[in-house]
């Protein structure tokens, strides 16, 4: 059935990413190719927050997480991947060329190299170097709430500027095929070896062709706790709109966290199999980008904690 393509992605980085996706999906391309090409744009943006330009872990090393899923429950991911520019493409290779769904650390890097991905130098971007030096002054591990809609990069301590170091993207193509992708440098200054929600199918991303798809950004631990993306898809299966389903998942996190909910940010995006989109965040400051033409529209998300 021919329909209209739709792309939704997290944050304002989604504006450029959606344009990349639209080049594929606009002329009738495959959703899976679109969600890969789309987030690759962000992975390449050195001034940004995802990929090798992102903030390092607390030992000063950039480690990347990503996953991808198509409309047939095929999925793949990488976690703790170092020195590879496009983790999303390695995730796709894991999906397409291995019997597995998740490769981590050294093994993921070995696989990437065996697939012809170049090993990039081990070095921080200028911005990340600065942010890391700043963070080292206190070395306090405390995730940042995404409060402001600024383009500034994360600097670590609570009260600092933005911390969106993830892009997640969902797409429905003209043939009705759904796919999703998610890629991140993870929480800034995380413990070495820490894995968040973003490479985990069912938490950071989930796609079910009979229902829709969902993806997450924000405090990964609290997304994993409720298997966020899968929960949202199941709520949509029960009849919730994408927006209602995202809201309900956020409410569940808020109930679990209690008074601590104000210290974190979590946000979800979702799309139904018919192309209806929705988003919801725990706190103010989350925005997302929707494309139904070649001009992406950046929107502020509704949020729970007023």
Q: Which residues have a catalytic role annotated?
A: 166
Nearest-angstrom CA–CA distance, 247 and 222: 15
Does residue 197 touch ligand SD4 according to CB under 6 A? yes
Question: In sequence order, what are the beta bridge partners of 279?
Answer: 269
- Considering only residues 239 to 298 of the shown chain, the ones binding ligand SD4 according to CB under 6 A are none
Neighbours of 193 (CB within 10 A): 12
Nearer to ligand SD4 among residue 174 and residue 205 (C-beta): 205
Does residue 165 touch ligand SD4 according to CB under 6 A? yes
Question: In sequence order, what are the beta bridge partners of 103?
Answer: 78
H helices present in the chain, as ranges: 13-25, 31-44, 87-97, 105-114, 126-136, 220-225, 228-237, 242-257
Residue 217 φ then ψ, to 5°: -145, 160
Number of residues located near ligand SD4, criterion CB under 6 A? 14
Nearest-angstrom CA–CA distance, 234 and 224: 15
Nearest-angstrom CA–CA distance, 8 and 15: 10
Distance in Å, CB of 58 to ligand SD4, minimum: 13
Taking the chain, what is the end-to-end CA distance rounded to the nearest angstrom? 42
Nearest-angstrom CA–CA distance, 186 and 208: 25
Per-residue x/- marks for ligand SD4, 211-230, CB under 6 A?
Answer: ------xxxx----------
Binder to ligand SD4 among 38, 87, 160, 186 (CB under 6 A)? 186
Does residue 198 touch ligand SD4 according to CB under 6 A? yes
The radius of gyration computed from the CA coordinates of the chain, to the nearest angstrom, equals 17
Q: Which range binds ligand SD4 by CB under 6 A, 12-20, 122-130, 192-200, 279-287?
A: 192-200
Residue nearest to ligand SD4 (CB): 220
Q: Which range binds ligand SD4 by CB under 6 A, 32-40, 127-135, 194-202, 274-282?
A: 194-202
Distance in Å, CB of 87 to ligand SD4, minimum: 12
Binder to ligand SD4 among 31, 187, 249, 271 (CB under 6 A)? 187
Q: By the criterion CB under 6 A, which residues form the site for ligand SD4?
A: 163-166, 184, 186-187, 196-198, 217-220
């Amino acid at each position: 059935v021919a329909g209209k393509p739709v792309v939704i992605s997290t944050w304002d980085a989604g504006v450029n990413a959606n344009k990349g996706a639209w080049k594929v999906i606009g002329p009738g391309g495959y959703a899976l190719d679109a969600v890969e090409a789309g987030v690759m744009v962000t992975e390449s943006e050195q001034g940004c927050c995802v990929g090798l330009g992102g903030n390092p872990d607390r030992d000063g090393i950039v480690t990347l997480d990503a996953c991808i899923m198509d409309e047939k429950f095929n999925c793949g991911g990488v976690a703790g991947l170092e020195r590879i520019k496009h983790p999303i493409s390695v995730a796709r290779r894991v999906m397409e060329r291995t019997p597995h769904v998740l490769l981590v650390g050294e093994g993921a890097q070995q696989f990437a190299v065996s697939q012809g991905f170049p090993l990039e130098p081990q070095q921080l971007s200028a911005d990340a170097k600065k942010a890391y030096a700043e963070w080292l002054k206190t070395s306090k591990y405390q995730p940042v709430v995404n409060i402001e809609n600024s383009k500034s990069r994360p600097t670590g301590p609570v009260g600092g500027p933005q911390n969106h170091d993830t892009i997640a993207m969902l797409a429905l193509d003209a043939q009705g095929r759904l796919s999703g992708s998610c890629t991140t440098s993870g929480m800034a200054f995380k413990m070495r070896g820490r894995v968040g929600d973003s490479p985990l199918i069912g938490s950071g991303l989930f796609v079910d062709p009979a229902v829709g798809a969902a993806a997450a950004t924000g405090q990964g631990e609290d997304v994993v706790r409720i298997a966020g993306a899968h929960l949202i898809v199941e709520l949509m299966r029960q009849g919730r709109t994408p927006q209602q389903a995202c809201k309900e998942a956020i409410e569940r996190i808020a109930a679990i966290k209690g008074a601590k909910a104000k210290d974190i940010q979590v946000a979800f995006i979702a799309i139904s199999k018919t192309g209806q989109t929705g988003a919801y965040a725990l706190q103010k400051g989350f925005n997302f980008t929707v494309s139904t033409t070649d001009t992406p529209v950046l929107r502020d998300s509704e949020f729970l904690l007023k």
